[in-house]
Structures are given as C-alpha cells and as structure tokens.
C-alpha cells in the first residue's frame, strides 16, 4: 500500500487524501496515517511542484562537466551557486569532478554564463558543456512491474 501511495503522489502531489483513497480503494484515515508515517520515515521528503521552465523562457539547458582544484571545492561550489541559471551542482566520479546543470533563455546567454562567469571562477581548471537537444523522462517506478519476481 505504501508503494501505491508513493506512486500516486509522485505523479500528482496535489491529489486530495479522499481522492487518493478512492483511487487505491483504501479508507481515507488509513491513507492519511500512511502518508504521515511515510513523511516521518523520510520516504517522502517534501511535496512539491514541477515548474515548466520553457514557459518561463528558460529554453536552453546544459550540463557542464568541470575539472577543478579540489582544494578550492567549497569556494568553487559557492561561486557556481551565485550564478543565475545554475540549478544543480553534483560531485561525481569519472572524467569530471563536478557536473553543473544550467538553464538560460538563449544560446547567447548560455555562452556568456559558461565563458564569462563559470570559466572565470578561480580554481576551475577546465570545463566542457553539453547543450540538451531533446529530453525524455520516465517516472520512477515505485510499483513493482507485473513481470518482475
């Protein structure tokens, strides 16, 4: 039942408890208490929305792989987050030290952000940018599929 609740809430966090209880055929009070328990156990961290970035004009998305002087890690990450358009910074394994997700309103704005702002942060040794051409997403499957064991 918890997986059903997680699955339904992940596709629409605004669904009311009565509607959710009807959908999964469980009493509302049981669904409410299960949600409270999922929050308490930190399986649900927060209820949120998905903003349509394109409708706000953010039509260009890029990921920048950055190599850095690791002694300056905290300084570099702080400086990255000061840049409008930087959404996420992830420390990773592989050929880059960090991956930065960036949004902008145009290719020109993205170019300026990468070359004039990110490229000038002290401690960044090199970077490589990847402009997103097209994206597809798959919902996280919280319900086991019928053909899994």
Residue segments in the chain with a per-residue pLDDT below the cut of 70: 140-149
Of 109, 102, 100, residue with least CA distance to 76: 100
Say how many residues make up the chain: 149
**pLDDT in the model for residue 87:** 96
**pLDDT in the model for residue 24:** 92
**pLDDT in the model for residue 139:** 72
**pLDDT in the model for residue 137:** 82
CA 45-47-50 angle, 5° bins: 115
Q: Could you give the CA distance from residue 8 to residue 73 in angstroms, rounded to a whole number?
A: 39
**pLDDT in the model for residue 149:** 43
**pLDDT in the model for residue 143:** 60
**pLDDT in the model for residue 141:** 66
Q: Tell me the two tokens of residue 90.
A: 């992830």
Would you call 19 helix, strand, or coil by DSSP? helix
Q: Could you give the CA distance from residue 145 to residue 149 in angstroms, rounded to a whole number?
A: 9
**pLDDT in the model for residue 80:** 97
pLDDT digits (tens, 9 = 90+) for 43-66: 999 998 888 999 999 999 999 999
Fill in the DSSP letter of residue 98.
Answer: E
CB 123 within 8 A of CB 72: yes
Q: Could you give the CA distance from residue 65 to residue 97 in angstroms, rounded to a whole number?
A: 7
For residue 73, count other CB atoms closer than 10 A to its CB: 14
């Amino acid at each position: 039942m918890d997986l059903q609740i997680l699955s339904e809430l992940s596709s629409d966090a605004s669904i009311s408890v009565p509607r959710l209880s009807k959908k999964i055929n469980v009493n509302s009070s049981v669904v409410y208490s299960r949600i409270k328990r999922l929050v308490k156990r930190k399986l649900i961290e927060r209820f949120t929305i998905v903003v349509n970035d394109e409708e706000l004009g953010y039509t260009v998305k890029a990921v920048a792989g950055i190599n850095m002087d690791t002694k300056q890690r905290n300084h570099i990450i702080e400086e990255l987050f000061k840049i409008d358009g930087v959404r996420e910074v992830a420390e990773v394994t592989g050929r880059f030290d960090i991956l930065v997700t960036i949004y902008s309103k145009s290719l020109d704005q993205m170019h300026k952000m990468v070359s004039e702002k990110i490229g000038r942060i002290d401690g960044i040794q090199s970077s490589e940018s990847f402009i997103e051409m097209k994206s597809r997403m798959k919902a996280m499957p919280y319900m086991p599929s019928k053909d899994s064991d």
